[in-house]
Every structure is written in structure tokens, then in C-alpha cells.
Amino acid sequence: MSIILGKRMRLRAVERDDVPRFHEWVNDPEVTRGLALYLPMSMRDEEDWFERVSKGDPNQKPLAIEIRKGKAWKLIGNCGVFDISFTNRSAELGIIIGDKSEWNKGYGAEAMTLLLRHCFETLNLNRAFLRVYEDNIRAVRSYEKAGFVLEGRLRKAVYKYGKYEDVLIMSVLRSEWDSKMKEKQ
């Protein structure tokens, strides 16, 4: 896969040099509040993750999210497509914007839009979905901006920070994506 370019960002292959930043992010409680992670990750854990995904299915490799800063690119997070079912033409998506100085600037929605473009126009999927904690309002808004709709709710499905919380299932269908793209023309 080549680099996926957007207006203000690009999605590129994850490199070994990215691992120290990822390690920093997955150990920041503010960053991981909306993620399924709940234990500290060692650098070795993160290196093992990188080795595992590097050898995995090329369609499911994570992508680094970089934004343009002058003439350079700045790494701010990563995203990916995983658990692809080519029989059902469906996959789950995930994202982390780890650089907190870049939060609330619309980068999550733009990255998810690029990832959806990849899902529908490259991987030829029919459905892309994700899971998000109900109290992660900023993420829910970001996903809605990218075109996701609420599909369902897993009631009190996760226990985090001393309480049970609902998990929302949000998705985009190929037909919805196609309609959105026609509107932009």
C-alpha cells in the first residue's frame, strides 16, 4: 500500500522508529482513557507488538498518522483496519491520537475519513465499524463527522476507572460512503 494522502495529513506505514512514541502514548492515562488498554506497557511489549504486526496480513497493518508542519511531517497517532472478514466484506477500525497537543483540531475525523476511503476504495469492504466508550464524547463526535452512525450499544460491557460503562458500536456502510462522496462532487 502506498501513502494515503489527505488535506492536512497522511497515513503511512508504521516504522520501528515510531515505537518509542507509541510506547509513550500507551502509557499516558489521558491518552488510554478511551482505549481497551488498562495495564502499563513496557518498551518490550511495544516492540513485540511491532514485530507481530510487521509479519501479519498486509491489509491489517497499522498506519502512522502524520500531519504537515511546515515542510516536515509530525507523527501524532496511528490507526488501522483489523479483523477483516473478506467473506462478509467487513472490518473493525481503530485509532489513537496520542499527541495531546494536537487534540481538538479535527485530526481524528480526518484520519478516520482517510481510513474509510481505504476500506471502501482499496479493500472493497461493504461495512466498517468501531467500538467506542459511551463517555468518550470527543471520539463519538469525531466518528459522526467522518460518517459513522450509531448501530448498537453493549450495555455495561466494560469496567474502567471503577465503573461499568456502555460500549457503542458505530459503523459506515459502503452505500453511505458512496452517497457522501457523490454529495461532495
Read off the C-alpha cell for 55: 509479519
CA–CA distance, 74 with 80 (Å, rounded to integer): 18
β-bridge mates for residue 149, sequence order: 171
Q: Which domains does the chain possess? A: 4-184 (3.40.630.30)
**Cα(first)–Cα(last) distance of the chain, in Å?**
26
pLDDT tens-digit readout, 130-147? 999 999 999 999 999 999
Give the model confidence (pLDDT) of 61-97 as tens digits. 999 999 999 999 999 999 999 999 999 999 999 999 9
Q: Helices 19-26 and 43-54 meet at what angle, rounded to 10?
A: 120
Give the pTM: 0.94
Q: What is the mean pLDDT of residues 34-39?
A: 86
